[in-house]
Copies of this chain bind each other. A is one copy, B any other.
């Protein structure tokens, strides 16, 4: 009735459970004949080992937990894709957690992951609060950060150099002759993705002798809708501009939408450059010029680092992955 256990196999093959276990793990200590008997019994009973029992004894669950602020964003799901892919390859399962950027929820997830005895954790796209750090530390499992970083604690991370990427995006607009350049940023309290991108933008302006004008920057939350709001604000309140740097593709796409609705041509009237390179960005019209972040590859890398830490608990370093400016159709030289 119940699923067969190793004992049932042992009985059927008329050997001890230890022998069955050894055969199944290819350890030494049995004759070829015995091996055949065991394998036959396994086959006949349709025996499958119970990973829970195994996990209990060797204190390994072959499971990792991954936290996202928003699983359903294109950004997160590309990351997840990469993470899941290598994890699976290496024999790990992944439990997804959607924190909704809510501290309470996050702490609850952390507790669940702890109780479930995950072997490691990937924490993505969000500032690592001290509270989280402490919980993570108590769990004593490896952690890797993706698309975020902790200045206070030494935790390996995988991310692009936001400051430099933003610098490059802005400079690209400048090289195209633009001097009145607006920006849509994340809230300026975001120490991870917000501030560095604004700084890169400012620096590029400064290095090219263009004065920074605070009125030309609007704030969003990386989402589509916030991009619409932001450009509306800019159009209404900011001094005129011929180019726009949006700190996320979603915001760029939102902004393009309202521009187009109002008969503002892209890139003829306003050039736009985004940030992320979501798969959608290539496909919309006009295709979005943007900073490519290799999200799937970053996910893969994160998984690899984490598993390395789990398996040899050797030290693993952080890596700044290369971004890339991909030229498509939303930027053109200033007339």
Contacts and interface: CB of A to CB of B under 8 A. Distances in A.
Contact of A52 (B48, B56, B95): B56
Interface in A34-75: 46, 48-53, 55-56, 61, 63, 70-74
Interface in A249-288: 250, 253-254, 256-257, 260-261, 279-280, 282-287
B52 A116 contact: yes
A114 interface: yes
Nearest to A257: B285
A277 to B, nearest CB: 14
Contacts of A56: 50, 52-53, 56
Given A284-B253, A287-B257, A84 B111 contact: no
Please classify how large the interface on chain A is, using the bins under 10, 10 to 19, 20 to 34, 35 or more: 35 or more
A33 to B, nearest CB: 28
Nearest to A65: B93
A324 interface: no
A283 B224 contact: yes
Instruction: Determine how many copies of this chain the complex contains.
Output: 2
Contact of A80 (B71, B116, B140, B284): B71
A148 interface: no
Nearest to A70: B81
A312 interface: no
A173 interface: no
A80 B70 CA distance: 11
Given A117-B51, A224-B283, A283-B224, A84 B63 contact: no
A63 B116 contact: yes
A52 B118 CA distance: 10
B74 A74 contact: yes
A296 interface: yes
Given A52-B117, A285-B257, A73 B77 contact: yes
A162 interface: no
A109 to B, nearest CB: 8
A48 B98 contact: no
Task: Name, among A96, A254, A256, the residue most crowded by chain B CB atoms within 10 Å (CB to CB).
Answer: A96
A51 B115 contact: yes
A84 B71 contact: yes
Contacts of A111: 48
Contacts of A253: 280, 283-284
A93 B93 contact: no
A96 B85 CA distance: 10
A95 B94 contact: yes
Given A48-B115, A63-B95, 6 more contacts: A52-B116, A52-B117, A71-B81, A72-B77, A84-B97, A84-B98
Interface of A: 3, 46, 48-53, 55-56, 61, 63, 70-74, 76-78, 80-81, 84-85, 88, 93-98, 109, 111-112, 114-117, 138, 140, 224-225, 228, 250, 253-254, 256-257, 260-261, 279-280, 282-287, 296
17 contacts: A50-B56, A50-B115, A71-B80, A71-B81, A72-B78, A72-B80, A74-B77, A76-B77, A77-B80, A93-B95, A224-B279, A224-B280, A225-B283, A253-B284, A254-B283, A256-B285, A284-B284
